[in-house]
Amino acid sequence: MRRRYSSYSHSTPFVLVLCVLPRRTGNPTRGAFERAVAAAEKAQYCVAFSSGSAAISAVVHLLSPGEKVLSIDDVYGGTQRYLRRIASPRMGIEVDFVDFADNQAVLGKLLADADKTKLIWLETPTNPTLKVTDIEKVATITKRFNASALLAVDNTFCSPYFQNPLEHGADVVVHSVTKYIGGHSDVVMGAVCTNDAEVYEQLRFFQNGMGAVPSPFDCYLAHRGLKTLHVRMEAAARNAHAIALFLEDHEGVTKVVYPGLKSHPQHDIASRQQNGYGAMITFYCVGGREQSGIVLKNVFALAESLGAVESLAECPSLMTHASVPDDQRALLGIDDTLIRLSVGIESCADLVADLDSVLNAAVKSTKQTSFLPSTTVDDGGEDGGGYWDW
C-alpha cells in the first residue's frame, strides 16, 4: 500500500518523535530557535510563544487564584493592562505595583503578603522612563524574605546581548522577540528563559495547552535575526549614546533619560549590571503637546514598536501607555511631552540632523501644529496603544 506522509505522521504508534508531533507541540525550527535563545540568555531552557504578551501570560499562569504578583510600577502598558484588567479580575490574581527604587516599600510589600506573593515582576530598564533596578539586590531580598516567590525580569530593552538577568539571580527572563531579537519589524513572537526544570515543564505545558505557539516560519525569521543581534545592538547603542549627548545640550529638550548618561539616577547600577546601555532614549520636549507633535510627525517613523534596524519614535501617553490610568501616568511622569526613541543603525549624523531640525521647529512654534487625538481608546493591540488622528 502507498503511504501518505504529512508533517504530523508517525512511523509507529509506540514511539513519538518530537519532529513529527503536531506543530503546536513542537517542530525542529522552533526547537533550534529556543536552544539558540537559551544559549544567548545563558539559560538551560527556553520556551517560544506567539507574542511577548503570550509569554507574559504564560508566566502569570504559574500562579493560582488568590496568589499575588508584585510588579514594578513603571511597566510596559500591555503588561500592566494584562495584570490589572485580565489576571486580577478574571483569574483572581492579586496585583500590586511598587517603585523598586524604594527598598523599604518593596520589603514592606514582601513582608506584608509573604504567603501570597509568588511572582516578582521587573523591567529593567523600564518602559518608557528607563528606570534601572538592581536585579541582584531584589533577588537577594526576595530569597531572604520570600523564598517561594519567583523573580521574573522582562529583558526586552537590553536583549540577551547587553544583559543576562539569570546571572544576577532572576528565576525567569521574558522577551518580546518582536523587538531586538527579531530586529527587522517582520515577526511577532515572545520567549521565556529559565534554569528551573519545574518551571520549564509548566511553561512547556502552557505553550502546548493554550496554543500560543509561533509558526515555524516566524521561528526561522527570529532565529535569523538573532544571528545579527550583536552587530545591531553595538551599532544602535553607539548611535543612541551620541544622540543622548546631543539631546542633553539642545534647547528644545527639558530632560533626557538614558542609562549611559552620568545624569541618569541609576547610571552606576546600569554600568555594573549591563554589558551596554542599549538603544532606547526617553526625553521631554519643550512646550506641550503641540511641540511634541511637531517632533513626532516629522522625525523617524511614528510607531509603537521598537528594537528594529530603523529608528522609531512614539508618544507613550497616547500610544503604548494609553491604557495606563491617568493618575498613574501622572505619577510616573508619562505626559504628552515625553517622547520615546528606539534608535536604529542608520547614519548617526543623519539622525542627529533630523532631530536638530524638528526640535528647532518645536522651539519656534507657537501652537501652529495640533497633536490632539480625536479619541484615545484601549484597542487591546500588541503594544497596547490607542487610536489617534492628526
Catalytic (active site) residue 350: no
- How far is the C-alpha of 47 from the C-alpha of 49, rounded, in Å? 7
Residue 89, CA distances (Å) to 73, 94, 96, 181, 339 in order? 19, 9, 13, 32, 32
To the query of whether residue 45 is one of the catalytic residues in this protein, the response is no
Helix axes 52-60, 197-210, angle to 10 degrees: 120
Which one from 24, 42, 238, 255 is the annotated catalytic residue? 24
Provide the residue type at 272 as one letter.
R
Residue pair 260/239 in contact (Cβ under 8 Å)? The answer is no
From the candidates 73, 74, 134, 154, which is the catalytic residue? 154
Our CA angle for 161, 191, 269, nearest 5°, is 40
Is 154 an annotated catalytic residue? yes
| Catalytic annotation, pick one of 68, 73, 76, 109 | 76
User: By CB neighbour count within 10 A (0-12 exposed, 13-18 middle, 19+ buried), where does 42 fall?
Assistant: middle
Judge whether 261 and 248 are in contact, CB under 8 Å. yes
Active-site residue, selected from the candidate residues 179, 289, 329, 340? 179
Quickly count helices (H) and strands (E) in the chain: 14, 12
Is 24 in the active site? yes
Looking at the DSSP assignment, which residues form a beta bridge with residue 280? 342
β-pairing verdict for 190-194 and 253-257 = unpaired
Q: Which residues are catalytic?
A: 24, 76, 154, 179
